[in-house]
Structure 1
Amino acid sequence: MSVDKKRVVYAFPHLGAGAAVYNAWSKYAQQQPLLLFKAIEIPGRGALGGKPHIQELDELVNTLADALHLHYLSTQEQCQDWITFGHSFGGVISMAVNQLLERKYGMRPTFSIISASPAPCVQAQENLHLLSDEAILEKIRRDKGTPEAVLNQPMIANRLIKQLRSDYTVKSQFSALKHMRVKQPLTLITASKDFDVPEQDVFAWQEHSTGRTKHVEVAGDHFAIYDNWDVVEREMLQGLMSEQPVC
């Protein structure tokens, strides 16, 4: 591959989050001349806060696929290929988008990175979107992915609850993806102390791809990946250097 052009990385946020969760990585990626990092924004939050929340899986996947397609077309002069990264909920959404992009536009990523995400074929049916606001807020606290100081601000807490309820509604439809198939290689990332997602549930992604798979482990809990840019960067650069195979 030519090193004169960049690789686009499309990063999908975890459940309830938006593109801002990748702000630190976006800054780090600016120091890496081989990567163009693009955090995917979800309608109803961040830069798309004026848009309505999407609670239908098919609608969300179609909306994100069309946006990614348009963005990639705009990068053709400076970029040579593209990959996806998705953490947890974002891993499933990224793969559903990948599948649609190939069907609709003939686009396939060089490979995909999936972090701490249970494969659809092993995900149990959940109806967390039916929880009360109070129960959702308590779950946010238990998950320890949001600082308590943030949760103590009513306006922010209410916004998070709406975002989570929207994503929980989408997640309740993941059973439709149990037979999803893609063709690109996968890099599967797990965390040593992730008690929310068993390692074998991440390995089950092998059932969803005809490509090769590779496993990488980081130290820490379910959200440890956000503190491991060095590991993520190395994996994102696969194949751009002659000594780095793709998965």
Structure 2
Amino acid sequence: MSPSPWLQSFHTVANPRRTLVCFPHAGAGAAVYRDWHRHLDPRDELVAVRLPGRESRIAEPSLTAVADAVPGIMEALAPRLDRPLLLFGHSLGASLAHATARALVERGAPPRLLAVSGRRAPHLPLRRTHSRTLDEAAFRNRIVALGGTPPEVLACADLMELMLPMLRADFIMSDEVDEPVPTPLPIPMLGFAGTDDAEVSVAEVAAWEAFAGAGFALHRLPGGHFFPHQHCREIVHTIMKDDSHGSRRAITIQ
């Protein structure tokens, strides 16, 4: 299997029975999932998506629309369509995973499961000023307020100058996701929400139920917007275990 710049594998599995495909949040690359394979069964594979403009693709122009990323991701996944795929995405990654799941369904190769994390459902309105309209100072303040960027990176002017165009593109991509009328997918879905996430509420994650045509379950985990970093083992185990379940229950937020 020829390597694709769109996918990164951090371990080798001979003839994997399943592949977990992980989509990173805004500003991140595939390396954010570097250690997650340690929580998998040795018979399962993990690959992480790498968008243009970061890591080994730093010289490529960043994308500003989810739809522009889907063809490259689909081409990279094509050699793996002979096995069950499970998709997980956090924040912006959830929207990328959802769009990829829809493309796979349309291709006649639906993933076994879609898991979304720390992301408002696509039919809900944006609760903040669109990133495209912010000046540089306001955009920097947004990055700082969100957290997730190491202080040493924020303090390095040269590094921030290099990263800001990519970050701006990712935030624009995230802010412009909009699907006013939900079209349910014929696959099971899981939602993961941080109970202390000031960026995305538990209810906004629960609203993904409208897009689940084969069952939905919500899992609340302690932490802020980047809670998956502290709960990767639990998330991976939940996804892979849920794949073996025939049904799941929707959880209603009171």
TM-score, length-normalised on structure 1? 0.85
Q: Counterpart of 1:10?
A: 21
Q: Kindly state the Cα deviation for residue 202 of structure 1 after the two structures are TM-superposed.
A: 0.6
Q: Counterpart of 2:209?
A: 206
- 2:130 corresponds to 1:127: yes
Moved more, 183-192 or 150-159: 150-159
SS of 1:175 mapped into structure 2: coil
Conserved? CA contact 2:112–2:243, under 8 Å: no
Conserved? CA contact 1:96–1:177, under 8 Å: no
Conserved? CA contact 1:89–1:117, under 8 Å: yes
Q: Which amino acid aligns with 1:189?
A: F
Give 1:56's match in structure 2, choosing from 65, 71, 74.
65
Runs of 5+ unmatched residues, structure 1:
none
Q: Counterpart of 1:35?
A: 44
Q: Counterpart of 1:114?
A: 116
Give 2:54's match in structure 1, choosing from 45, 52, 62.
45
- 2:233 corresponds to 1:222: no
Give 2:93's match in structure 1, choosing from 90, 93, 107.
90
Q: Which amino acid aligns with 2:110?
A: R
- 2:162 corresponds to 1:159: yes
Identity %: 23
Q: Which amino acid aligns with 2:18?
A: R
Give me the whole-angstrom Cα distance separating, in 2, the residues matched to 1:131 and 1:23.
32
- 2:186 corresponds to 1:175: no
Q: Kindly state the Cα deviation for residue 34 of structure 1 after the two structures are TM-superposed.
A: 3.1
Q: Counterpart of 1:20?
A: 31
Give me the whole-angstrom Cα distance separating, in 1, the residues matched to 2:104 and 2:188.
16
Give me the whole-angstrom Cα distance separating, in 2, the residues matched to 1:240 and 1:210.
15
Cα RMSD after superposing both structures: 2.2
- 2:78 corresponds to 1:69: yes
Conserved? CA contact 2:193–2:202, under 8 Å: yes
Moved more, 162-171 or 231-240: 231-240
Q: Which amino acid aligns with 2:24?
A: P
Q: 1:211 to 1:141 in 2, by over 3 A?
A: same
Q: Which amino acid aligns with 2:33?
A: Y
Give me the whole-angstrom Cα distance separating, in 1, the residues matched to 2:70 and 2:110.
15
Conserved? CA contact 1:188–1:216, under 8 Å: yes
Q: Counterpart of 2:199?
A: 196
Conserved? CA contact 1:13–1:90, under 8 Å: yes
Give me the whole-angstrom Cα distance separating, in 2, the residues matched to 1:47 and 1:65.
19
More helix by share: 1
SS of 2:21 mapped into structure 1: strand
Give me the whole-angstrom Cα distance separating, in 2, the residues matched to 1:190 and 1:109.
22
SS of 1:205 mapped into structure 2: helix
SS of 1:237 mapped into structure 2: helix
Deviations 1:181-224 (Å, cap 9, x if unpaired)? Answer: 31111111111211221111111111112110112111111111
By relative contact order (CA 8 Å, sep 6+), the higher-ranking structure is 1
Runs of 5+ unmatched residues, structure 2:
1-14, 249-254
Give me the whole-angstrom Cα distance separating, in 2, the residues matched to 1:177 and 1:85.
22
Give me the whole-angstrom Cα distance separating, in 1, the residues matched to 2:150 and 2:57.
23
